[in-house]
Structures are given as structure tokens and as C-alpha cells.
Structure 1
Amino acid sequence: MPSQLAEPPSPAITVEAWRDHDPAARALPGMALGRLELADAARPDAERLYRAGARHVRLPHPVDLCAATAGPESARALLLLRELTGRGLAVDWVARCADGCAADGALGHLYPPSRIEGAPPQAAGAWRAGYFPARCVYRHGPGFIEVRDRRFGPLDLFTIDEPHFLTAVAGLLEGSPTGTVPDDVRAELADARLIAEHVGRLWWLPTRPYRWPLGSLGL
């Protein structure tokens, strides 16, 4: 699979980070990493946070989930959420939803928000109740990608091995302009609900876990 990714989305976003999940522990000296500006692609940003010792991250601004209203900041935040979820970090964030998309389950594999503005009060609770690690994940093999998806009930398995699909997914990891994704790729991935669209870009939804919770899957 080609390693070159599409240019990262902009603008930069600011986060707050701590070295521990526990609120009591986060109050101890040396636990706070402070406010950090992230301006690189989502994957290296998440890796740097993890290597710096971050285990709890806060996004200070609400994240729009709806494609019709989300701006570049929200698209960037969702990419980062995907990567932080894959690395097992806890994320304190607030979602915002105006069209009911929060209830469709497509984003239910991401670390759940503390609340969802514009949605019924129980919506965030339902997200938290249904969340578990590795709910929708992918792994690379030699010349293929395998997706394991439990967002919508029973396990769905997808194997992607056609070269132009693999090339497209490489760009989708950081967001590809909608018009640059081949029609057949876009149609099949959208039908499987493996991609989302925000601000004229398509991006890849499954997370890539770096610590498999139930034994090795060859990631």
C-alpha cells in the first residue's frame, strides 16, 4: 500500500493533555502537559501526544458532526479523535449535531463525547453505553486492508485489495477532496459506511488500534 498521504486538513487545533485518565491523579504535580497546538497530520499528532505521555486529552471547542454545518476545525478534530481512539486515549469533548446524525451509529466507534449539543440528553449516554474498544478497526496485510466493523450489530468483515482502492484509502486517512476519489471507490466505501464527508473532503472512519485488547490480530 502506498505510504504517501494527502495533505493534512487545516487549520491547526488546540488541545489540553494530561498524563493520567483519573481526575484525581491529573491534579497532581507534573501530570498536566498543558495546552498544545497541533498543526501536523492527525496520525503523527496523536503519536506525539502518546509519546509525550498523554493519556487524557480535552478538546476545548464543540465538534460539529453534521456534514452540512461542520467546518474545517471540526473535520480536523474528528480525524484526531479517530487517531486518539485507536491509541486508547480518553478524550473529553463535546459534540454538536443538528440533523440527527449522532444517532445513526456511524461515529459510534469513536471515544464518546460528554454531551451532544442539539440532540436529546440521552443521546450521549447511548453513545457511551454502546462504545467499546476496537468497535470498527482496520489492519494492513501484504497488499490488502481488512476492516472489522461491529458498529451496526453483528461483525462485518471487509477486505480491500484492489490497487486503486488501496491508493484511495491512503489519501482518505487524512482526508481527500471529494472529486479526487474514484466514483467506484467512493460508492462502495460509502455503501459500507466506511467514509464520511465534511467540508468537501472524504475521510476514512475505521480506527487503527495500536494495542489490540483481545489478543493479537497481526496489526
Structure 2
Amino acid sequence: MSALPAEVPYRLTRRGVDVAQALDLSGAGRATAEAVLFLRECESQGLRVAWRAAGSPSYDLGVLRHLPPPLEMPGCESELAAWRAGYSYGSLHHRRGPGFVTVLDRRQRGTAVRLTLDHPGLLAAFLRLHEPAPLDAVDPEAVDLLVAERLVLAAGGWAVALPPRIRRWPVPCTAI
């Protein structure tokens, strides 16, 4: 198993990962980008995650429904219920090729969108945002396009790519 980001305190259990403190989903800055990165990497590795959310989101939580939902999210019970109902492993993921990235997005029930990022500026921004970055460190036009396609979360001056790179496929792999 690849190492998980160290910015979030966690412990591995027999059943997955337990996060020690509530993760900030407010969108107020770097902490939210780091939380999304951590959850994305857990999803990438097919790990079950027991975590709690903190903060009132300043963005549409629907962009995170491909990630494991929290155990609790104070003040956002209806959003949490929608998240739990809409979550499905692998509903958003990407695959890399030479000079391109293909993204499959099935977060919206009944739809499947396949996008290929092969424009050098978009591809560079997407790959740069695999790790959280300040917005001023990435081409703003590329970020705007990636945000519009719901492939990047940009909030509080920070941005991070949303689609995980799935490393653990269920059997059969065509189920995704």
C-alpha cells in the first residue's frame, strides 16, 4: 500500500483507516485541500475511512460525493444524507497515459462522462493539482476550466484535483 498523506493524523486498522480529528471541509484554505487529498488517496487505495467533518462548506458538496462520506457532519444533516445516498466507489476516477489523462465521472446518477485532458495547459494544471496548491501557483484559466468540469476543488485560495487514480479495482473490474 502506498503511504497516505502525513498532514492528516490517522491510524490503520484491520478494516481501514480511522482519522484522529475532524477534517475541515469549510473551504477556508489549505486544511480543506489537505483533507480532500487524504480522502482521495484513501479512495484510490480502496480503504474504508472512518472520519468526521468539521466546518460549514462554502462550496457545493456534490463535488465530493465520490469520496467516502463522513460519520457525522454537524449542521449539514441533509447534505450528509445525500452524500451517503450518492456515494459509490469508483464513481469518479482518472487514468494516465503518455501526454493525456482520461477521467470517468459517474457522480450524477444515470450519466457517465468521459473526459480526456490532452491540452498541455490543462494537463499540466491537473497534474500539478494532484497535490494541493495555492491558486496563484497554477494557470488561472486552466483552473477555471477544471473547476467548471468539477474535476478540481478551488476554495479559500487553494486547489486540489478531485479524481483519484484507482489502484484497487473490485472484482470484476468491469463493475465500475
One fold, TM greater than 0.5? yes
1:12-31 aligned within 5 A: 12-18=7-13, 20-21=14-15
Confirm whether residue 77 of structure 1 aligns to residue 21 of structure 2: no
What CA distance in whole angstroms lies between the structure 2 residues aligned with 1:187 and 1:16?
A: 35
Q: Check whether the contact 2:24–2:35 (CA below 8 A) recurs between aligned residues.
A: no
Confirm whether residue 163 of structure 1 aligns to residue 120 of structure 2: yes
Confirm whether residue 92 of structure 1 aligns to residue 50 of structure 2: yes
Letter in 2 for 1:61: Q
Confirm whether residue 212 of structure 1 aligns to residue 172 of structure 2: no
Does the residue aligned with 1:109 lie in a helix, a strand or coil?
A: coil
Confirm whether residue 200 of structure 1 aligns to residue 157 of structure 2: yes
Q: Check whether the contact 2:125–2:138 (CA below 8 A) recurs between aligned residues.
A: yes
Q: Check whether the contact 1:109–1:131 (CA below 8 A) recurs between aligned residues.
A: yes
What does residue 138 of structure 1 align with?
Answer: 94
What CA distance in whole angstroms lies between the structure 2 residues aligned with 1:99 and 1:81?
A: 16
Q: Check whether the contact 2:93–2:163 (CA below 8 A) recurs between aligned residues.
A: yes
**Structure 1 residues 73 and 187, CA gap change in structure 2 (3 angstroms):** closer
What CA distance in whole angstroms lies between the structure 1 residues aligned with 2:148 and 2:32?
A: 23
Question: Structure 1 stretches of 5 or more lacking a match?
Answer: 1-8, 22-55
TM-score by length of 1: 0.69
Confirm whether residue 117 of structure 1 aligns to residue 74 of structure 2: yes
Residues paired across the two proteins, number: 169
Confirm whether residue 152 of structure 1 aligns to residue 108 of structure 2: yes
Does the residue aligned with 2:37 lie in a helix, a strand or coil?
A: helix
Q: Which structure has the greater CA radius of gyration?
A: 1
What CA distance in whole angstroms lies between the structure 2 residues aligned with 1:182 and 1:151?
A: 26
What does residue 28 of structure 1 align with?
Answer: none
What CA distance in whole angstroms lies between the structure 1 residues aligned with 2:143 and 2:7?
A: 27
What CA distance in whole angstroms lies between the structure 2 residues aligned with 1:107 and 1:141?
A: 25
Letter in 2 for 1:78: V
Deviates more, 1:162-171 or 1:85-94: 162-171
Q: Check whether the contact 2:25–2:35 (CA below 8 A) recurs between aligned residues.
A: no
TM-score by length of 2: 0.84
Letter in 1 for 2:37: L
C-alpha deviation, 1:171, in angstroms: 1.2
Q: Check whether the contact 2:101–2:116 (CA below 8 A) recurs between aligned residues.
A: yes
Per-residue CA distance 1:116-168 (angstroms, 9 max, x = gap): 11212x43333222211111100012211011011123111111001222222
Runs of 4+ in structure 1 over 3 Å off? 71-74, 99-102
Confirm whether residue 105 of structure 1 aligns to residue 62 of structure 2: yes
What does residue 137 of structure 2 align with?
Answer: 180
What CA distance in whole angstroms lies between the structure 2 residues aligned with 1:99 and 1:140?
A: 30
Confirm whether residue 64 of structure 1 aligns to residue 18 of structure 2: no
Q: Check whether the contact 1:147–1:157 (CA below 8 A) recurs between aligned residues.
A: yes
What CA distance in whole angstroms lies between the structure 2 residues aligned with 1:79 and 1:155?
A: 23
What CA distance in whole angstroms lies between the structure 1 residues aligned with 2:26 and 2:131?
A: 18
Q: Check whether the contact 2:52–2:70 (CA below 8 A) recurs between aligned residues.
A: yes
